[in-house]
A and B are shown apart, each in its own frame.
Chain A
Amino acid sequence: MNILEAKKIHKSYGNKFTRQEVLKGIDISIKKGEFVTIMGASGSGKTTLLNVLSTIDRLSHGSLEIEGEELTKSKEKKLAEFRKHHLGFIFQDYNLLDTLTVKENILLPLSITNTNKKEALEKFEMVAANLGINEIADKYPNEISGGQKQRTSAARAFIHEPSIIFADEPTGALDSKAASDLLGKLSTLNEKRKATIVMVTHDPVAASYSSRVIFIKDGQIYTQLNKGEESRNTFLKDIMKTQGVLGGVHYEH
């Protein structure tokens, strides 16, 4: 069953004269429980694609359906309502509120949906245990490390059990240890909770944790790779090979 269905997505910026087309007709469908990675060189339009898919940015034309709901023509307020219930976000720069403790940050999405307090705290306990953030629950974001911040951000994305979680370069600001730690937790949650994850990254190691990788070039889909029954290591090699063919970006780590 497809949870997200996007057809002929176009997105351009600027006015009539300075018009610049970033996405040039992309078709994507994502199944429930999938962990999909979008890869591409800088400027290929991968972050724009994620923003459009996650309703943060509006598409120029094309159609977008999530959970059977047509979102292309929805009003701003309805989109916010939709995000509130069905989407979760993890960002490269964490996007935590400095003024709130880790726990308060994580509980935010539940307070929008007016979940009752007891249930909210139960959900928090569960997510916190999964992501190992119990001991930092009462700290402020400026008191914890980058890896901890990103796990907090992930916990916030998972807590209200959204249909899809969008992650924009979640490991971009982390060292490799913290990154693999986070990705491991993400894929566990993906399996355990049957959570659908869409991630944008330029890091092939990060991409190798997912079940499918979509390559974007110049605003169009270049190719796709399925993990299938492969091990993570062989999948990583495949990804790097494709990246090499794609050109522009060489894996130099």
Chain B
Amino acid sequence: MENFILPLDRWVHFLSGITWIGLLYYFNFVQVPALAAANADKGGPGPAAISKYVAPRALLWFRWAAVVTWLSGAIYLQKFYSLHGAFTLGMGQHNPALTTIGMGAWLGTIMLFNVWVLIWPNQKKVLGMVAATDEEKARARRVAFLASRTNTMLSIPMLLFMGAAGHGLLF
């Protein structure tokens, strides 16, 4: 049974991780530029439909995929590596794979924090799910945007280190 759980957990980690980061890239590479274009297009249909029908669904899958990714990753670390060893970057253990996957785990953990503490609460204000003044919405939009862009930036080394633990570093 143990031999079945670990590959299953890894599979779930990949699936949920792709869902999470795929939607992160959707927000950054597609939705944000699309909203800007819709706002600038005075004769067009405007951004309302994206904000009402698309963004809440994308955010739902995004934030819960982040949780499943982190939990399945933590289980995998504990079973296959060492959760404590990874988060202490394998210091004193002379295990490069532990150090590498640990850096990936730290980056992923910072990203999960950004999703639930910075992006989601501020997006709720932006999308009108909680009451906010126009000034609060403008500030929430900026904080959510920068947190989302930070996660896009962090995802680049994060994916490098997640893969490098099993397949080798960049150089």
Do A and B belong to a common assembly?
A: no
Q: A residues near B, CB below 8 A?
A: none
Q: B residues near A, CB below 8 A?
A: none
